[in-house]
Structure 1
Amino acid sequence: MASLFSRFAKQFFLAVLLGLLILPAVQARFPLFEIGELGGYFERAPHPDFTWPSLLDNSYQPNLERYVEDRIGFRELLIRIRNQAAYSLLRVSKANKVLVGDDEVLLDETAIRAYLGQNFRGENVIRTDVAKFKAVQDSLARRGVLLIFAIAPDKANFYADKFPTYFKHLPRGESNYVAYAREMKSRGVNVIDLAQAFRQWKDTASYPLFPRGGIHWSGYGITLAADTLFRYIEQRGHIDLPDYSVDRVDISDKLRDSDNDVARAMNLLYEPTPYNMAYPNVVFQDPKPGQEKTDLLLVADSFGWGLIGFYPYLPKLFKEDFQFWYYNQAVAKGNPTEPGGAPVDRPVDRKTEMLNHRVIIVMYTQHNLGGFDGGFTAEAYNLLCPYSAADSSRIQAIKQELKQSVIIQDQLWEKANTTNQSYDQLLHEMAVSQFELSKLQ
């Protein structure tokens, strides 16, 4: 009897094992269970074309393996189980560049390193960027266009006290945000530092300004930032925008829009318990006599979506055909794609577009200042403040002077070799940089 039971148990466990091996293939071919898609960006590997050359050079086999792995049954569920174990047991996130801070606040590693100054661009570069922006600002002002730079807050700067332990002990140097903000204020740039405002509101705000599981500012934070931003535009531009008000504030742990974007991207079985978030209901009024909806161009990173889709300040306070250049790429007018979607680049006459708008807002988040404004200022400067013949001659003279320095020549050739860049291009960029510094001081 015992022998029969033992044999039955072995057969049973063998059947279970075979079932576990076969079930993923069955699920892939004939879906038996509905499995939710993973959050975040993911592109499945395409089916590789079978050719003799690809088979012989061993490229077909790994490509086919990736194709099968991306479509194996229960893949999404198994990934969530693995990610949940890492998060629950080790407080580790498997999402790219996402770190778990104190109080289970989710943070962006790139933004943390920017806060610590690890991608600092250097004083000369920053001074040149800001000087060019001021020159563009003045040139546009003479044509009746208001140009302002808005610095949006990022979560890492806001929650620096909640960094993971390792990052709390790293040295902090000069950051791009601190240097740019200081230089802009010193130069007289039309800058509105919303990051500084958020720091001031941190201990007195009635509701969270950043969600626990999201990377962007909260709905409540957006409304505070909008009040500050649009009052500034009205004052500097002598514009009376339409009125708006908040008639109620909904408090909920059922998150909306981008308030849980990072937590979703972690692909857990159970997401971290969210903060109770505030969602003001903003009521926009029609323009009164003397008020106007004027032309607007917004050049911004993903934080710009909060003023378009999350809360429709821009479509309601400005002309509905306002333009949004997402990361300085011109996309279709108005609200063309879902927030966070890929920009749909379209050709535009940038000089004409800039001069046809009454207000231009350039808005980048603190940690994105490592790329300043995505090339907007450089392009606008070339279009609105072109070099004269004398300027070009002076740049050529500086290049000849640089060629006389053995130290500089060694530096340029070494950089050309290590970065695979053209020596002539590096020499030209150095000469232009020196010329701009002397010209824009």
Structure 2
Amino acid sequence: MRKAARHLTLARLPIFGCAGFIAFLFLANVWNYAVERDWPKLRIRSAAPLKGLRKMAPTPWTVEAFLAGETQKAASSNLGRAMPVFPISVRAKNQLVFSLFGSSAAPGVAVGRNGQLFEPIYIDEFCRRGDAPDYARISQWAATIREIQDATDAAGKAFVFLISPSKAGRYPADLPASAICAARATSMPDKLAPYVAALREKGVRFVDGAGLIAAHRDDFEIPLFPRGGTHWNLLGASLALEEMSRIAPSAIGPFAFTWAVAPEPHGPDRDLIDLLNLLWPDLTYPTAMIERAGAPGACEKAPRVLAMGGSFLHQIIVSVTRAPCPPKTDYWFYMRLPDYGIELGHYEIVPGEADGEKGDADLSILDRNLRDADLVVLEENEANIGLTQQVGHLRDATRRRAPL
């Protein structure tokens, strides 16, 4: 009798195991759903959480929302996302689409030729190029930058304006075949020509980083944009910083560098391939690491840099850690939030480091950073040149100042 009962128990072990696993998933889902909004650190998490996932909105618990179906829809979506198996399920689906069709199942990432990854917003901007520019607007934009330069010059500070490159604009042959301008991608008009002409006419000190990439892209054994990233790599950014230090000498010293192929991509070099959320991402593509060429400078104190622009400045900030006198950097840029909103961010970065602590983004702090800076770098990407708010913020700061 006991032997038969033991045999029956053993035979039912798989059933008990499945029932236990289902019970665990149910309780884990309930727990995650309960703590997600107010105590997200208490969630039961996957060992490899998904990248770039929009933050879950709270479920609306009102009669009106229930009658409109909003409560049920939000509860269903949030409960599914709270499942511990959700990340691996998404990665498995994305891997299947990528492996079988060479396509992206992740929003915000497009797969181009030769496995190059792009953000669709840069492809869309590139494919819209060709309309006649508004020369009056461009001239006024350049005059604003010259006004900033005059104010910083008068205060004894170095100033340089940087045009950073777009991957779509610099490597158009790699655009996806589905891009609306794919057939004419390599013969698109030169968008930057009127902007560069206006800067020269106004006497602005600037570095055309997009032009540098175009001029030097075939001079190296590796691309100046990584296959799995949206930003230029350290080699491309260092070419621009070298030119910046030449035309706008400052306390950081004359920048010169050596480079080598990095052991593996990291940070911005893999931001898009991380957003693909694959089970087995291919990280075998080459990218660069850099070192200072020559001895460190004789620095009595760390210089101060005010860097204002967008995300492409991050690679400049990494590169400047290899300058003769690495600076303390105040980095101002518009950052994307987990809910896909945009806000002005300010990071305080200590000398020799590439990442810093998020600081106060009140514009009165910008005034102080401008007053203390030895070098001011203003950057716009070629994709949104002449359209960013950062130029206005910096101009207003120069106008608000007491003597810098």
Q: Secondary structure at the match of 1:363?
A: strand
Alignment CA distance shift 1:354-1:35 (3 Å): closer
Equivalent residue for 1:214?
Answer: 229
Q: Which of 53, 64, 67 is residue 78 of structure 2 equivalent to?
A: 67
Alignment CA distance shift 1:138-1:32 (3 Å): closer
CA–CA distance in structure 2, aligned partners of residues 119 and 338 of structure 1: 37
Larger radius of gyration: 1
Aligned residue identity for 2:114 = D
Equivalent residue for 2:374?
Answer: 358
Equivalent residue for 2:308?
Answer: 299
CA–CA distance in structure 2, aligned partners of residues 362 and 98 of structure 1: 28
TM-score (norm 1): 0.69
Matched, 1:346 2:387: no
Deviation at 1:359, TM superposition (A): 2.2
Work out whether residues 326 and 343 of structure 1, in 8 Å CA contact, stay in contact via their aligned partners in 2: no
Between the aligned residues of both structures, percent identity stands at 19
Deviations 1:21-56 (A, max 9, x none): 87854664699995520112431343x364445434
Unaligned runs of 5+ in 1: 1-13, 387-441
Q: Secondary structure at the match of 2:268?
A: coil
Equivalent residue for 1:324?
Answer: 331
Task: Note the 1:4-43 alignment, pairs <5 A.
Answer: 25=26, 28=29, 35-43=47-55
Work out whether residues 117 and 228 of structure 2, in 8 Å CA contact, stay in contact via their aligned partners in 1: yes
Work out whether residues 145 and 359 of structure 1, in 8 Å CA contact, stay in contact via their aligned partners in 2: yes
Task: Note the 1:106-125 alignment, pairs <5 A.
Answer: 106-118=117-129, 122-125=134-137
Task: Note the 1:102-251 alignment, pairs <5 A.
Answer: 102-118=113-129, 122-167=134-179, 168-169=182-183, 177-234=192-249, 239=250, 241-242=252-253, 246=257, 249-251=259-261
CA–CA distance in structure 2, aligned partners of residues 19 and 385 of structure 1: 66
Equivalent residue for 2:269?
Answer: 259
TM-score (norm 2): 0.75
CA–CA distance in structure 2, aligned partners of residues 260 and 211 of structure 1: 8
Matched, 1:368 2:377: no
Q: Root-mean-square deviation (CA), in Å? A: 4.1
Deviates more, 1:28-37 or 1:134-143: 28-37
Alignment CA distance shift 1:246-1:135 (3 Å): closer
Deviates more, 1:192-201 or 1:121-130: 121-130
CA–CA distance in structure 2, aligned partners of residues 138 and 260 of structure 1: 39
CA–CA distance in structure 1, aligned partners of residues 294 and 396 of structure 2: 36
Aligned residue identity for 2:379 = M
Aligned residue identity for 1:275 = Y
Aligned residue identity for 2:108 = K
Work out whether residues 110 and 176 of structure 2, in 8 Å CA contact, stay in contact via their aligned partners in 1: yes
CA–CA distance in structure 1, aligned partners of residues 333 and 90 of structure 2: 32
Work out whether residues 224 and 233 of structure 2, in 8 Å CA contact, stay in contact via their aligned partners in 1: yes
Alignment CA distance shift 1:163-1:330 (3 Å): closer
Unaligned runs of 5+ in 2: 1-14, 32-42, 335-342
Aligned pairs, how many?
365
Work out whether residues 214 and 263 of structure 1, in 8 Å CA contact, stay in contact via their aligned partners in 2: yes
Alignment CA distance shift 1:343-1:304 (3 Å): farther
Structure whose residues are more often helix by fraction: 1
